[in-house]
Amino acid sequence: GKVRAHTHIISTIYDDRGEEPCYAGVPMSSIIEQGLGVGDVISLLWFKRSLPRYCTKFIEICIMLCADHGPCISGAHNTIVTARAGKDLVSSLVLGLLTIGPRFGGAIDDAARYFKDACDRNLTPYEFVEGMKKKGIRVPGIGHRIKSRDKRVELLQKFARSNFPSVKYMEYTVTVESYTLSKANNLVLNVDGAIGSLFLDLLAGSGMFTKQEIDEIVQIGYLNGLFVLARSIGLIGHTFD
């Protein structure tokens, strides 16, 4: 008789059963005809919805500003060593990507989690930072080995101030940063912290997500994906270099 395999995988983001492939229900021709960009494609494939232009522009700015940060950073260093050892593009890329974690580029989700919790509970910066210290946890999104103030953080905040309906979480992290800076001058808000907090404002302010969806996005951890995607651009560049 006829042997049919059961469906093992269900994709809710891509559909090519019709005339043309769709990203979260939006046909590819429509994406091109409307002149949409990579931020829109990310909204469709990650968040399964079309987001307003200021949101997709913000996503694109995150990608552009995090694309590279020089050869001495752990990711680029690994990629360069791998490429110089004669390995191929994919090996060089993934060896760099594998260094992304809590101390480098992978603190965005934790920054969003901790800042959201602290801000939603109206903790003062003192209560939040000292509470983290008691638990022995470094505040994710705070601190940088070298930098005093990061231009990328300024640019992201400037864009949000003029385009987002609310920057409540960003304002909260600014007060946390003022407090940590009073302890040591390298305890700045870093780019991971800026993206984590501003993405909370994007999710909450866009009116496109329910409270439950925001909690899920933050708990599952979507946001490190922005850094992984962005830095792939630079790591590929370092491989070719």
Q: Which residues bind ligand LMR (CB under 6 A)?
A: 66, 69, 73, 104-105, 145, 191
Angstrom distances, CA of residue 204 to CA of 83, 145, 168, 218: 42, 31, 9, 12
Angstrom distances, CA of residue 47 to CA of 8, 52, 109, 211: 22, 12, 15, 14
Please state the closest distance from residue 80 (CB atom) to ligand ACO, in A.
17
Distance CA(139)–CA(114), nearest Å, equals: 8
Distance CA(120)–CA(8), nearest Å, equals: 40
Distance CA(146)–CA(43), nearest Å, equals: 33
57 contact, one of ligand LMR, ligand ACO, none, CB 5-8 Å limit per kind: none
217 contact, one of ligand ACO, ligand LMR, none, CB 5-8 Å limit per kind: none
User: Does 205 engage in binding with ligand ACO (CB under 6 A)?
Assistant: no
Tell me how crowded residue 178 is: count the other CB atoms within 10 A of its CB. Answer: 11
- Residue facing ligand ACO at closest CB distance: 143
Quick one: 147 or 168, whose CB is closer to ligand ACO? 147
Distance CA(124)–CA(71), nearest Å, equals: 38
Please state the closest distance from residue 172 (CB atom) to ligand LMR, in A.
21
Which of 22, 62, 139, 189 is the binder for ligand ACO (CB under 6 A)?
139
Quick one: 27 or 102, whose CB is closer to ligand ACO? 102
Which of 39, 96, 125, 141 is the binder for ligand ACO (CB under 6 A)?
141
User: Does 96 engage in binding with ligand ACO (CB under 6 A)?
Assistant: no
User: Does 140 engage in binding with ligand ACO (CB under 6 A)?
Assistant: yes
User: Does 179 engage in binding with ligand ACO (CB under 6 A)?
Assistant: no
Which secondary-structure segment (H or E) carries 23?
Answer: strand 22-23
Distance CA(32)–CA(135), nearest Å, equals: 50
Which tokens is 239 given?
Answer: 């491989």
44 contact, one of ligand ACO, ligand LMR, none, CB 5-8 Å limit per kind: none
139 contact, one of ligand ACO, ligand LMR, none, CB 5-8 Å limit per kind: ligand ACO
User: Does 168 engage in binding with ligand ACO (CB under 6 A)?
Assistant: no
User: Does 138 engage in binding with ligand ACO (CB under 6 A)?
Assistant: yes
Angstrom distances, CA of residue 185 to CA of 52, 133, 148, 226: 37, 17, 7, 27
* Site for ligand ACO, rule CB under 6 A: 102-105, 107, 138-145, 184, 186-187, 190-193
